[in-house]
Structure 1
Amino acid sequence: MIKHKMNIRYVVARNRLRKDNRIPIYIRITINNMRKQFSSGHFVKYKNWNSKTQSVEPPEPDAELINTQLSLIKTKLSQAFLFLQVKGSDFNVHDIYKQYKGETPKMEL
């Protein structure tokens, strides 16, 4: 069995500024130098994003709600990672994402 270490980070795309001056928050999973990035579905003003703490700060409306939902996404990704580790076969970031979304990872097809 191969040992894997997963990193989960939230990143904002400053180049994707919307008309309401909000930018999207993306989730980035990294395992063995492979990345998978996908949208969280949340948008914030850049001045309300703290990249060091990886969180939305007031005065952003719904800051607490967004932080809670980001935390839930991270928890579900961690569960998917642990599930695939327990299965014992080799996997990559795409398999974790598929497991997180409820799809069947390619190793089970």
Structure 2
Amino acid sequence: MQVHQNISILFYRKRKTINKKTGYIPLYCRVTIDGLEDEISPGCKVLNDDWDFESKTVQPSHPDQKDINKKLGQMKTDLERHFDLVVAKHGLATPEQVFASYKTPITGQKQQVERKENAAFSLVQDELIKDVVKHLRQRMAHHGGNVTPHPI
């Protein structure tokens, strides 16, 4: 059974943690999936006036505006991809699972192990198919080509 889940990704300023000396406010990313939510910091800070509340982006008045907006856009894209990955693997996703997947780097070694496992599985599958084809050919030869499926 396929379950459709809705994901929402929101970037916002967390004003409770403002740096009183510099006035910078950290940005946070909240992921909500079917009412469950969790948050993570992308590691960016802005002044209150540098944040566009409507578009959820950093305004040009911030010196690192382009870099931060690019980072936030990439983070959103990556989180959406990891959401799809978690759903594909587990059927359902939670924000915690999406963040765990997002934080876990895929190493070359892990990819090599997965490729070897997939290749081994393919070889087993190929042998099984050969055995089934061989068995069916024997049955067809034995019954003169008139083979009907076994009732279940």
TM-score by length of 1: 0.88
Picking from 52, 74, 77, the partner of 2:76 is: 74
Report the counterpart of residue 15 of structure 1 in structure 2. Answer: 16
Picking from 84, 87, 95, the partner of 1:85 is: 87
Aligned-residue offset at 1:87: 2.7
Q: Which has the larger share of helix? A: 2
Question: For 1:2 and 1:86, how far apart are their aligned partners in 2?
Answer: 11
- 1:95-106 equivalent positions in 2, closer than 5 A: 95-102=97-104
Report the counterpart of residue 29 of structure 2 in structure 1. Answer: 27
What runs of 5+ residues in structure 2 fail to find an aligned partner? 106-152
Aligned-residue offset at 1:4: 0.6
Larger Rg: 2
Q: Helix, strand or coil: the match of 1:40?
A: coil
Q: RMSD between aligned alpha carbons?
A: 1.3
Report the counterpart of residue 5 of structure 2 in structure 1. Answer: 4
Picking from 45, 48, 54, the partner of 2:47 is: 45
**For this pair of structures, how many residues does the alignment match?**
103
Question: For 1:17 and 1:95, how far apart are their aligned partners in 2?
Answer: 28
What runs of 5+ residues in structure 1 fail to find an aligned partner? 104-109
Q: Which has the larger share of strand? A: 1
User: Could you tell me the percent identity over the aligned residues?
Assistant: 26
Aligned-residue offset at 1:97: 0.8
Q: Deviations over 1:46-95 (max 9, x none)?
A: 11101110100021111010000011111110110111222352221111
Q: Helix, strand or coil: the match of 2:43?
A: strand
